Amino acid sequence: MLRRALLAILALLAQMPAGRAEDPFITVASTTSTEQSGLFQYLLPLFQQAAGITVRVVAVGTGQALKIGEHGDADVLLVHDKIGEDAFVAAGFGVGRHDVMYNDFVLVGPSGDPAGIAGVTDITEAFKRIAAKPATFVSRGDDSGTDRLEKRLWAAAGIDPVAARARWYKDIGSGMGPALNTAAAIEAYTISDRGTWISFKNRRALRIVLEGDKRLFNQYGVMLVNPARHPHVKAALGQRFIDWLVAPEGQRAIANYKIDGEQLFFPDAS
């Protein structure tokens, strides 16, 4: 009885199409900022036309994307945490890391600006004012590129809201979208990457309160998951994607992606 049931299930699953299996495809683990901003929706059809390769994007936080790469469940990684990426390559999980594009992070906050950030240009000064007020701050807390940067900024400001169990510091353990939804709803400050912010539709009273500090620079890098470590990785196809991204064609496409005339990502492959 059980055996018959198992065979029936296997037959069912075998009929489940694994996809348009005839088309060559690669799996790219990337971050929520590139997916939610709509960049991939714009770029990938262009790559598909140029190379005939379908790209399947799994969009998660940078920490999770690196883990997916470690397990060999993706062929290419496109993330934004250079420190994490370099460690990934050093540990032998990735090869051939290239800069691809950059933009920046912004500090967003309620239009009432309870912490009095308006006019401040130093991000650590802004963080000190938020802690001093104290004004509510939403943290992603999900080990993403954005989260790692935010924690580094608190350290630079000499404040440790996690150790202090600060009640104004709301660690929601989620992606950028949920963080913005939360900050909008409870009128709090939060750090966002510009790509997600520009395409975010539920701003309510949130607006940018600080931008332009050099420490808010946001570099995106792409690399191949090491085929020596995971032989099944589609190294050739993955490398074609990386090559396209850093070549003039891909770089031009990145620069051309705009929302309401505003450019979200700036190509900088050397």
Partner 1 sequence: MSNEIIDALARALRLIAGVDPTLADIVLLSLRVSLAATVAGTLIGLPLGAVLAVSRFAGRGALVVLFNALMGLPPVVVGLAVYLLLSRSGALGGLGVLFTPTAMVIAQTILIAPIVASLARQVIEDLWAQHRDLFLSDGVGIVRRSAMLLSLGRYSLVTAILAGLGRALAEVGAILIVGGNIAGFTRTMTTAISLETSRGDLPLALGLGAILFALTLSINGAAYLIAQTARRAAL
3-class state of residue 21 by DSSP: coil
**Single residue of 101, 106, 115, 180 touching partner 1 by CB under 8 A:** 180
State the Cα–Cα distance between residues 270 and 267, nearest whole angstrom: 9
CB of 156 to partner 1, least distance (A): 28
Q: Which residue has the tokens 């598909």?
A: 48
How many residues sit in the footprint of partner 1 (CB under 8 A)?
Answer: 40
State the Cα–Cα distance between residues 5 and 207, nearest whole angstrom: 57
Residue number with CB closer to partner 1 (153 or 237) = 237
CB of 245 to partner 1, least distance (A): 18
**Contact flag: residue 36 with partner 1 (CB under 8 A):** yes
CB of 100 to partner 1, least distance (A): 20
CB of 200 to partner 1, least distance (A): 4
The partner residues of 221 in beta bridges, in order of sequence, read: 79, 99
Site track for partner 1 across 181-220, x = CB under 8 A: x--x--------------xxxxx-----------------
CB of 64 to partner 1, least distance (A): 10
Classify the C-alpha dihedral 256-99-88-169 as positive or negative. Answer: negative
| Residue 128 vs residues 115, 134, 160, 247, 257: alpha-carbon distances, Å | 9, 9, 11, 42, 35
**Single residue of 125, 230, 255, 266 touching partner 1 by CB under 8 A:** 230
Q: Which residues contact 94 (CB under 8 A, 6 or more apart)?
A: 69, 77, 85, 88, 223, 224, 225, 226
DSSP 111-146: TT-TT--TT---HHHHHHHHHHTT--EEE--S--HH
**Contact flag: residue 105 with partner 1 (CB under 8 A):** no
**Contact flag: residue 57 with partner 1 (CB under 8 A):** yes
Binding site for partner 1 (CB under 8 A): 1-2, 5, 8-9, 12-13, 16-19, 27, 32, 35-36, 40-41, 56-60, 70-73, 175-178, 180-181, 184, 199-203, 230, 232
